[in-house]
Amino acid sequence: MTLRRAGFAGAVAGEWIKIWTVRSTWWSMFATVVVTVGLSSLLTLAYTLSYDRLGFRARLAFDPVAYGLAGLNFGVITLGVLGVLVVSTEFSSGLVRTSLSAVPRRSRLLAAKAVVLAAVALAVGLISSFAAFFASQAVFSMRRLGAGIGDPEVLRAVTGGGLYLTLIALISLGAGAIVRHTAGAITSVLGVLFVAPIFGVFLPEDWGRTVQKFLPPAAGSAILTTRETPVTLPPWQGFGVFAGYTALVLVVAFVLFRRRDV
Amino acid sequence: MISAAGLTKVYGGRTALDHADFTVRPGVVTGFLGPNGAGKSTAMRLILDLDRATAGSVTVNGRRYRDLPVPLREVGALLEAKAWHGGRSAHDHLRFLARTNGIPKRRVREVLDIVGLHDVAGKRAKSYSLGMGQRLGIAAALLGDPAILMFDEPVNGLDPEGILWIRRLMQSLAAEGRTVFVSSHLMAEMALTAGHLIVIGRGRILADTPMADFIPASHVRVRSPDLAALVRAVAAEDWRARPADDALLVYGVTPADVGDLAYRNGIRVHELSPVHPSLEEAFMRLTADSVEYHGGGG
């Protein structure tokens, strides 16, 4: 046998095999594409059919790109679940003890997981985002409402959709490593992403609106917009805020993963 | 070689391992014996750096486990609880493990053959029986052809054939000069497998000794209606003996020796039997002592 050091490259290669050898990966990838493209198309269709009844203001504020990518907000659930499962099933199955006996450096193992997950999520996210964009713009084009991929800001928004879903997967991985239970981690991720915005609704209007902009889902999905809106931050600023949340969760995850018994 | 010095682990106020010092050497199966909850699994998790020691240290070939450059080449471990994902096949499980440590793919086939999982290697592990799962864990331990092997309660869930198989496997691994460290609460199994013994109770190392020294010597149990005469006769021969209830235990002689002695002295004998003390008895005596010690010492 040739002797090679078991370094980071080996850990990444091992995680790469791991992620493709369980069915949940294939299911969540498939579900992500179906849900994002399907819901984007359906919502787009509903909008197109009711366009004649819309007022002037609604038509003016209409962002065909953000609307067409609305389905990505549901892909958040499926890729979030994938991100959680990558870590939480290690604990629920006991596999983590085998994984750590092969890669005893804790940070190396978790970093390898993050790299592999990010690659998979980016690929699925980009496929979903581009597919959702083209499908929705095809529907909009029935009423000549659609935008082209070459229009200003559009490529950034559609690519940003893939990046946003990648961060979602990573923040979920962090939650999985912190909580270590599948159900608990999924609940925390979805709770923060879908329930937290309710707080903003009940705050006094002016600063409620500001808080809302900085809450994770609004900040993260700002990248999907191509028109300025009063309820979201500028695209990259919002994305940066969400990346900050992701980094924070990952730092906590690494610290705890290094420190705790398994 | 595994060396622990002052190894201590406290879980939320409960001391699972209390200043344990021990060394596990190559070339012999070292049994790690103790009742459930004595601290065996804790010690093994600490060796693998899965749990962090509260105090003390443990090294493998002179290094902390996390500092081993290619850990699976040096240590293979079968842990007590199942440590694989049920949705992944045995083949994929071993393939990813091999990849992390740069072990060639053909070794996966080899270990699947060794443990006899070849035919089911493509099936998802959740469909495996307890014994098959145990064999998968053993395959993972053997994957890197390591010089040190640890098995935590390896016979759990194995059928008699499987138990015999793992016993022979461990003995042949030790005969090849490897370090084999096996924990069990089953003393009969340990007596058959191990050549050296580390006994643990309530987190403390109670004994660290060759198996032969741990089990007391065989002796003869003799009962007679004329016990006093028998005691005198035995004493006249300068044999070592001690009374036990209504019988006399005579050490270092055979039943024939004792029978002949009784015949020569005209002493009637009602029972004459050879006694081979078991590991159980030796263990019970040891732990009884430690309980008394704890009680007396406060």
Q: Which of A66-75, A130-139, B47-56, B186-195 shows the lowest per-residue confidence on average (mean pLDDT)?
A: B186-195
Supply B280's token pair: 């159980």
Provide the pLDDT confidence category of residue A4 given band limits of 50, 70 and 90.
low
Return d(Cα B197, Cα B177) in angstroms, integer. Answer: 17
Q: Is the pLDDT at B296 greater than 70, yes or no?
A: no
Give the Cβ contact number of residue B194 at 10 Å: 27
CA atoms within 13 A on the CB side of B216: 15
Domain ranges of chain B: 2-214, 219-275
DSSP tally for chain B: helices H, then strands E? 11, 13
Q: Which residues 6+ apart lie within 8 Å of A7 measured at CB?
A: A108
Q: Which residue of B has its CA nearest to A10?
A: B100
Give the closest-approach CA distance of B109 to chain A in angstroms: 14
Please provide the CATH number assigned to the domain covering B2-214.
3.40.50.300
Position A1 scores a pLDDT of 46
CB B117 within 8 A of CB B139: yes
Whether chain A has a CB inside 8 Å of the CB on B94: the answer is no
Q: Which residue of A has its CA nearest to B98?
A: A14
CB A68 within 8 A of CB A40: yes
CB nearest to A22's CB, from B51, B75, B87: B87
Position A203 scores a pLDDT of 81
Which of B96, B107, B130 should be substituted to probe chain A, the one whose Cβ sees the most A Cβ atoms within 10 Å?
Answer: B96
Q: Is the pLDDT at B292 greater than 80, yes or no?
A: no
Whether chain B has a CB inside 8 Å of the CB on A105: the answer is yes
Provide the pLDDT confidence category of residue B92 given band limits of 50, 70 and 90.
very high
Q: Over range A211-239, report the average pLDDT.
A: 91
CA atoms within 13 A on the CB side of A158: 25
Q: What is the mean pLDDT of chain A?
A: 93
Q: Is the pLDDT at B297 greater than 70, yes or no?
A: no
Write the pLDDT tens digit of every residue in A142-151.
Answer: 888 888 898 9
CB nearest to A98's CB, from B49, B87, B97: B97
Q: Is the pLDDT at A122 greater than 90, yes or no?
A: yes
Instruction: Check A10 against B101: CB less than 8 A apart.
Output: yes
Q: Is the pLDDT at A202 greater than 90, yes or no?
A: no
3.40.50, 3.90.1200, 1.10.3470, 3.30.70: which CATH number matches B219-275?
Answer: 3.30.70
Position B293 scores a pLDDT of 43
Strand partners, B59: B3
Contacts with A104 from chain B: Cβ below 8 Å: 48-49, 65-66, 68, 71
Which of A18, A101, A105, A260 should be substituted to probe chain B, the one whose Cβ sees the most B Cβ atoms within 10 Å?
Answer: A101
CB nearest to B77's CB, from A10, A94, A101: A101
Looking at this protein, which amino acid is placed at residue B198? Answer: I
> With pLDDT > 90 as the criterion, what percentage of chain B qualifies?
76
Give the closest-approach CA distance of A262 to chain B in angstroms: 6
Give the closest-approach CA distance of B276 to chain A in angstroms: 41
Indicate the SS3 state at residue A50. coil
Provide the pLDDT confidence category of residue A248 given band limits of 50, 70 and 90.
very high
CB nearest to A6's CB, from B93, B96, B100: B100
Q: Is the pLDDT at A155 greater than 70, yes or no?
A: yes
Whether chain A has a CB inside 8 Å of the CB on B281: the answer is no
Q: Over range B270-298, report the average pLDDT.
A: 69
Whether chain A has a CB inside 8 Å of the CB on B89: the answer is yes
Give the closest-approach CA distance of A108 to chain B in angstroms: 11
Contacts with B71 from chain A: Cβ below 8 Å: 6, 101-104
Whether chain A has a CB inside 8 Å of the CB on B107: the answer is yes
Strand partners, B181: B30, B150
Supply A213's token pair: 């902009």
Which of B45, B85, B106, B152 should be substituted to probe chain A, the one whose Cβ sees the most A Cβ atoms within 10 Å?
Answer: B85
Return d(Cα B112, Cα B104) in angstroms, integer. Answer: 14
Choose from A62-76, A119-133, A193-207, B241-255 the range with maximum mean pLDDT. A119-133
Return d(Cα A101, Cα A108) in angstroms, integer. Answer: 12
Strand B179-184 to strand B29-33: parallel, antiparallel, or no bridges (unpaired)?
A: parallel
Instruction: Check B50 against A24: CB less than 8 A apart.
Output: no
> Which of B254, B244, B253, B251 has the alpha carbon at shortest distance from B223?
B244
Q: Is the pLDDT at B142 greater than 70, yes or no?
A: yes
Q: Over range A10-36, report the average pLDDT.
A: 97
Instruction: Check B83 against A95: CB less than 8 A apart.
Output: yes
Where do runs of H (alpha helix) occur along chain B?
Answer: 40-47, 71-74, 90-100, 106-115, 130-142, 160-175, 187-193, 211-214, 227-236, 255-264, 279-297
